[in-house]
Amino acid sequence: MMKEIIVDKKYHEKKLNKIILEELSHINYPTFCKLLRKKDIKINGTRTNKDILVYENDKIEIYLPKELEDVEIEVDKIYEDENIVIVNKPANIEVTGANSLTEKIHKLYQDCGFMPQPCHRIDRNTTGVVLFAKNEEALEILLEKFKQHEIEKHYLALVYGIPKKKEERLEAYLFKDNKKAQVYINDIFKKGYQKIITKYVVLEKRKDNTALLDVEIETGRTHQIRAHLAYIGHPIIGDGKYGKNEINKQFGKKYQMLCSYKLKFNFQSESGILSYLKGKEIELKDINM
């Protein structure tokens, strides 16, 4: 699949990576570098393998691999009222950016006065519930509730190996490397690291040396669950970034077996027009893991 971009004035004399990463937000920096190495980017008809400067009205052509093509999905709504809509996101699609779940939602609500906005995110290949606000007032309330930890997000994770403890509250520190689109975990605080807290409960131990976990994060950092579980020796099966290739091949999984399966509205403070959600739980059923 080929994407074409005509360079706007705001990108005049900017590096190639800036326009591509901003205009095609589902592409990260490592993927951009890979496209360069394979000479899958043309500037004014000439292939390039360098992160060169671009100029206004230049024509950029990017040849995208199949996994980065636009994804045609049917939006699976699992709950909706006048203020919110909750969607079950499949794998291989971002929550925001080009060709994203948010774009699909906006197409459905294009005749409404307010385009529903996501209140949180999950990774491209993590499946499960994503909460959208359908008006400005609801959006402000929900963003504040997430900030104050008054909405619980629970995940199902299928990991390799059986944790020794049935349940645990893990604390560590995470560093995000934006250039590599990867995070690193350490038990000791270092400059640039942020504290993370990940809780898990073992729901099921399986004979194939895997375990199904309920995971809750008290801090919502990039790739937190995937990196933290891998750090303690229990990588998520199918995770190509933090898992192990031989294990993923053994189980035949292309995407991480991680699903955002439950939201709990534990409102402790004033919640305005969303007061009716207090105490409500939204949970996916019949999840195949």
What's 273's DSSP letter?
G
Out of 4-18, 124-138, 150-164, 204-218, which region has the weakest mean confidence (pLDDT)?
A: 4-18
Supply the pLDDT for residue 68. 60
* Residue 26 confidence class, pLDDT cut points 50, 70, 90: low
Alpha-carbon Rg for the chain in angstroms: 21
Supply the pLDDT for residue 22. 82
What's 245's DSSP letter?
H
> Do 153 and 263 meet the contact criterion of CB atoms below 8 Å apart?
yes
Number of domains in the chain: 3
228 plus 176 within the same structural domain = yes
- Diameter over CA atoms, the chain: 60
Burial of 126 per CB tally in 10 Å (0-12, 13-18, 19+): buried
Supply the pLDDT for residue 97. 81
For 32-71, the pLDDT digits (tens) are 888 999 999 999 999 999 999 999 999 999 988 765 655 5
- Mean pLDDT for 260-273 is 97
Average pLDDT, the chain: 92
What is the residue range of 208's domain? 155-260
Provide the percentage of residues in the chain whose pLDDT is more than 90.
Answer: 78
For 189-217, the pLDDT digits (tens) are 999 999 999 999 999 999 999 999 999 99
Phi-psi bin for 150: left (phi > 0), alpha (psi -120 to 50), beta?
Answer: alpha
117 plus 166 within the same structural domain = no
**Residue written as tokens 């509730």?**
145
Domain-located, residue 288 = no
Residue 248 parent element (H or E): helix 245-251
Domain-located, residue 43 = yes
172 plus 118 within the same structural domain = no
88 plus 134 within the same structural domain = yes
Domain-located, residue 178 = yes
Domain-located, residue 135 = yes
Q: What CATH number does the domain containing 18 carry? A: 3.10.290.10
145 plus 106 within the same structural domain = yes
Residue 158 parent element (H or E): strand 151-160
> Do 84 and 134 meet the contact criterion of CB atoms below 8 Å apart?
yes
169 plus 254 within the same structural domain = yes
Q: How far apart are CA 227 and CA 184, in angstroms?
A: 7
20 plus 34 within the same structural domain = yes
Q: What CATH number does the domain containing 130 carry? A: 3.30.2350.10
Q: How far apart are CA 19 and CA 25, in angstroms?
A: 10
- Mean pLDDT for 173-198 is 94
122 plus 171 within the same structural domain = no
Q: Which amino acid is at 289?
A: M
Q: How far apart are CA 15 and CA 230, in angstroms?
A: 35
Catalytic residue among 123, 208, 239, 286: 123
Supply the pLDDT for residue 169. 97
98 plus 162 within the same structural domain = no
Supply the pLDDT for residue 160. 98
138 plus 276 within the same structural domain = yes
> Do 118 and 131 meet the contact criterion of CB atoms below 8 Å apart?
yes
For 97-111, the pLDDT digits (tens) are 877 899 899 989 988
> Do 210 and 253 meet the contact criterion of CB atoms below 8 Å apart?
no
Which pair of tokens denotes residue 157?
A: 């994770």
Supply the pLDDT for residue 181. 86
130 plus 62 within the same structural domain = no
Give residues with Cβ within 8 angstroms of 101, minimum separation 6: 73, 75, 87, 89, 93, 94, 95, 118, 130
144 plus 272 within the same structural domain = yes
Evaluate if residue 273 carries a pLDDT over 70. yes
Catalytic residue check, 58: no
